[in-house]
Chain A
Amino acid sequence: MAEKTISITLRVWRQDGPQAEGRFASYHAKDIPADLSFLEMLDIVNAGLEKAGADPIAFEHDCREGICGSCGAVVNGHAHGPQRATTLCQLYMRHFNDGDVITIEPFRAKAFPLIKDLVVDRSAFDRIIQAGGYISVKTGTAPDAHAQLVPKPKAEQAMDAAACIGCGACVAACPNASASLFTAAKISQLCKLPQGDPERKRRVSAMIRQMDHEGFGSCSKHYECQAACPKEIKVANIATMNREFLRTLLPGE
C-alpha cells in the first residue's frame, strides 16, 4: 500500500539575525509522507533549500520525543501547532490536509529575543530558575527515598508541576507574553514538598522579581497558556504562586 502523502505550502518567518529585517517566505513541500513529524517535514524542506544553495530554515530541536523543551514555533496561530498536549516535534503531518497553507512564526515575546528565523533566546527562563528555582542541600550520599514523608496528593501536585519542560509555549500563547505559568510551575514543584519549604519565601519573591525584570507580562487569566502547554500544566499553579507570594507578606516566623 502506497504511503499517504500531502503537498503543502509553508509561509515561514525568515530573519537573518536579531537586528535584521524579517519577512515571510513561501515554500512548497511536495509529497510529504503523512506519518512524518512536523520537524521531519522541515528537514525535507531544508534539504531542498541546501541543495539549491539557499540558507536552510533555522529551528531548534533536540530530543524529538517531546521531553526536552527545545522545539517550538507558532504554527497557524497556535504555539506548538493545533494539537493539544503536544510539542512541535511530536506533531504529525497527518493532522494537516493536502493543499494546506501553514504559517510558521517564532515564539514572540520581548523577553525571548529572536536569534535567527524560528530560533529565539529563551535564557530568560534559565535566569528565572537561577533566581530561586532550586533547593539547597548538603551534598554527599543521597538520603533514603522514604526519609521524608510526602502526602500523596502533594506529591502528585508537585509531580504535575514538575512535568514542565520549559519550552516557552505558555509565553508564546499568552496575550501578555507572561511567564507566569512557567514560573508558577517551578515554584509549585518545590513549595509542595518538604525539601522546598525552608527557602520558600525567598524563592517566590526572587523568581517573580526576575520574571518581571526579564520583561514578561503579567497574568490576566486568559488561560491560553494552559491550553497551549504540551505538558498540560494548570493555571491552578499560578494561584499557588500568588498564595506563596501572599505568605511572604505575613509577619515572619
Chain B
Amino acid sequence: MAKDSGQDGAGKFRLNTVSRELLVAVSGLVLVLFILVHLAGNLILFRGPDAFNAYSQHLHELGLLLAAIRAGLIAAFVLHVVMTAWLVLANRAARTTRYAVQRTMGNTNFVKQTMIYSGLLILVFVLLHLYDFTFIDKAGPYSVVEGRNTGQSLGLYGIVWNAFSNPLHSLLYIVAMAALGLHFSNAVSTIWVTLGVLSDAATAKANLAARVLGAAIAVAFSAIPLYVLAMTHLRGV
C-alpha cells in the first residue's frame, strides 16, 4: 500500500510544491526588481533623445556585466514560467470534478484567478518587445524620425518614437502594461506569505501598497506610448 507510507518517493529527488512556490517567488522578486529598474531607465526618454540614447549607450558599455545581468534575467524568467506552469497544471489536476455551484467568500478575485493568463500575456509581450527594441539595428532606417534631426538617425529614441506613433502598436503595449500591473499587484501582495515573512496584521497594508505600486507601474510604463501618441497625433511633432 504505497499510499499508506509517508516515505513513499523518499530518496528520489523531486521538488515539493512549497519549493516550487518559493522558486516562483524568488524568481518573481528578481523580475520585480528588474521591472522597477527598467521603468526608471525608460522614463529618461522624457528628457529627450540625447539623454535617452546616452543611457542606452552606458548600458551597453557595461559589457560582460550586462551579459551577466541578461543571463540572470533569462534564467529567472524561464524558471518563473516553468515553475508556475508546473504548479498550475498540478492545481488543475487536484480537482477533477468541478462544483455545480461555487461561490467565493469574498477573498479571491479576478486578478488572482487569472495570474496564469496575465503571465502568458506578459510572456508573449516580452518576445514582441525584444523584437521591437532589442534585436533591432539602433542606427538603421527605423531610427530616423520624419521631420526631426534633419533625416539623421535618432538612435534608440527614434526607434521607440516610430513604434509608438502607431496607435495600434501603442495600444498593444498599454494592454500588456495593464496585465503587468495586475500580475504585479497580486504578486507583490502575496509573495510575503510565500516567503514566510508576513503576519496577519500586516496583510491589509501589504495589499494596499501592492495595488498602488501595480497601478503606478502600469501607468508609468504606459506614459511613454501615450506621450509619443499625443506628440505625433495631437501636436504633429
Which residue numbers of A lie inside 8 Å of B, CB to CB? 11, 13, 24, 74, 76-78, 82, 84, 103, 105, 108-111, 127, 130-132, 173, 175-178, 205-206, 208-224, 226-228, 234-236, 238-246
Contacts and interface: CB of A to CB of B under 8 A. Distances in A.
Given A74-B102, A109-B94, A223-B108, 18 more contacts: A84-B105, A103-B100, A127-B6, A175-B91, A175-B95, A176-B95, A212-B16, A217-B95, A218-B91, A220-B87, A220-B91, A228-B105, A239-B192, A239-B197, A239-B198, A242-B21, A242-B196, A245-B19
Q: Which 5 A-B pairs have the closest CB atoms?
A: A243-B196, A227-B105, A77-B103, A131-B6, A217-B94
Contact of A127 (B3, B22, B105, B197): B3
B112 A222 contact: yes
Contacts of B104: 224, 227
Interface string B31-57: 000000000000000000000000000
B6 A224 contact: no
B130 interface: no
Given A222-B108, A223-B107, A178 B91 contact: yes
Nearest to A132: B6
A226 B113 CA distance: 17
Contacts, number: 152
Scoring A74, A216, A218 by chain B CB atoms within 10 A of each residue's CB, the highest score goes to A218
Given A103-B100, A224-B107, A224-B108, A246 B91 contact: no
A2 B106 CA distance: 37
A219 B198 CA distance: 15
A212 B17 contact: yes
B188 to A, nearest CB: 12
A126 B94 CA distance: 18
Interface in B183-213: 189-190, 192-200, 203
A208 B197 CA distance: 19
B194 A242 contact: yes
Contacts of A77: 99, 101-103
B96 interface: yes
Contacts of A222: 107-108, 112-113
Contacts of B199: 236, 239
B10 interface: yes
A208 B190 CA distance: 20
Contacts of B22: 242, 245-246
A221 B112 contact: yes
A149 B95 CA distance: 43
B124 interface: no
Given A209-B10, A218-B17, A246-B22, A24 B107 contact: no
A176 B18 contact: no
Contacts of A240: 196
A13 B98 CA distance: 12
B154 to A, nearest CB: 45
B89 to A, nearest CB: 10
Contacts of A223: 107-108
A54 B206 CA distance: 54
B112 A103 contact: no
A209 B101 contact: no
A240 B98 CA distance: 30
Contacts of A208: 16-18
A215 B93 contact: yes
Contact of A209 (B6, B195, B203): B6
Contacts of B9: 209, 213
A238 to B, nearest CB: 6
B231 to A, nearest CB: 41
A169 to B, nearest CB: 10
Contacts of B99: 74, 77, 105, 108
Contacts of B94: 109-111, 176-178, 215-217
A9 to B, nearest CB: 14
B115 interface: yes
B138 interface: no
A238 B112 CA distance: 17
Contact of B105 (A209, A224, A235): A224
- Which among A110, A221, A243, A244 has the highest number of chain B CB atoms within 10 Å? A221
B90 interface: yes
B6 A24 contact: no
A125 to B, nearest CB: 13
A176 to B, nearest CB: 4
